[in-house]
Structure 1
Amino acid sequence: TQSQGDKIREELDEHIDKMRIEYGKKIKLMK
């Protein structure tokens, strides 16, 4: 079983990936 910390870290990583993709799209649009 996963510990609470691992679960939170996993969700955080997914969130960061999404943010990075959205940020990348915005930068491409600005160029």
Structure 2
Amino acid sequence: MAGAKIKTEQIHLQCTECKRKNYITTKNKQN
């Protein structure tokens, strides 16, 4: 179960990174 938890955290980290990039891209489009 520990391995699955780590994998879930890695997926969440990638999702957060993607959201952060999308936020920057959206902010640049508005300017």
Q: TM-score, normalised by structure 2?
A: 0.77
Unaligned runs of 5+ in 1: none
Structure 1 stretches of at least 4 aligned residues deviating more than 3 Å after TM superposition: none
Identity %: 10
Q: Report how many residues are paired.
A: 30
RMSD: 1.2
Unaligned runs of 5+ in 2: none
More helix by share: 2
